[in-house]
Structure 1
């Protein structure tokens, strides 16, 4: 594996790691992305129900940020009551191998800690 280093004095936000972190940082953003990947298309209230500990306002803000960063697609259907569905964009799907690697690492570390 090729080792990547950051030159001394380089600001973290000017690195690839810093850029990635700027897109996914937030208490629930990675969980939202994972839920969207798992369900393909999901509505706001279903995301809120599955997370449980997130307020309506916080979820709305995170979804707007993810949409602004072109990771999440929002489709609004013109009906009453309003219906809005969320899904991952191609860019959002491209993050899933990174998140899956984090899940695998966590599972391995969890097993090691239990032994």
Structure 2
């Protein structure tokens, strides 16, 4: 079954809402996705170095898949970790949320890279 991995962008430098890149968290996520050995990966990215408005749509999409009320979507949005991975599986019965907000790739010394939306 096809998997869709949605990656939340990293935090802007010093917490500013700018379009600066986030090389360390991005590289960490990239290594984690490579380690997974995804078959025939197709990568799509926004035009900006750091896409600013992805936390809300991720939570909204996941909330729709889970039939959550608005309050549930807001609760999901509050816990989104920057550079986290959300995984969807697509099958005969439609699209299913497999994981939300995965950030196990930030372990050990990389734990300091964890920031929230």
- Give the TM-score, by structure 1 length: 0.27
Bigger relative contact order, structure 1 or 2 (CA pairs below 8 A, ≥6 apart): 2
Higher helix share: 1
By percentage of residues, which structure has more strand?
Answer: 2
Higher alpha-carbon Rg: 1
